[in-house]
Amino acid sequence: MKHEIDIKFNSISEVKDFVDIVAGFNFDIDLESGRYVIDAKSIMGIFSLDLNKPIKMAAYTDDATELIKAISDFI
């Protein structure tokens, strides 16, 4: 099941914190910005996106409750 939510980063340190959090989950998480889709666990991939706009996050899992709680600062 695909869960989608918009997220926003306000600083470089927030990107690092986000990657540290999502790396702990054992399912695929993508970030989509325009026509680009990158692995949310890739800090270099995230920096290739336009961070001035909200980014759509897609988590591929049956239950995203814990993930959403963990990343609430970025929603």
The pLDDT-based confidence of 24 (bands split at 50, 70, 90) is very high
* pLDDT (mean) for 10-34: 96
Identity at 25, one-letter amino acid code: F
Rounded to an integer, what distance in angstroms lies between the CA atom of residue 70 and that of residue 39? 18
Domain ranges of the chain: 2-70
Question: Is there a contact between 59 and 27 (Cβ–Cβ < 8 Å)?
Answer: yes
31: CB partners within 8 A, 6+ apart:
7, 37, 38, 39, 40, 45, 46, 49, 55, 56, 57, 58
pLDDT of residue 3: 96
Is the alpha carbon torsion for 22, 40, 64, 53 positive or negative?
positive
Residue corresponding to tokens 């970030």: 31
Please state which CATH number belongs to domain 2-70: 3.30.1340.10
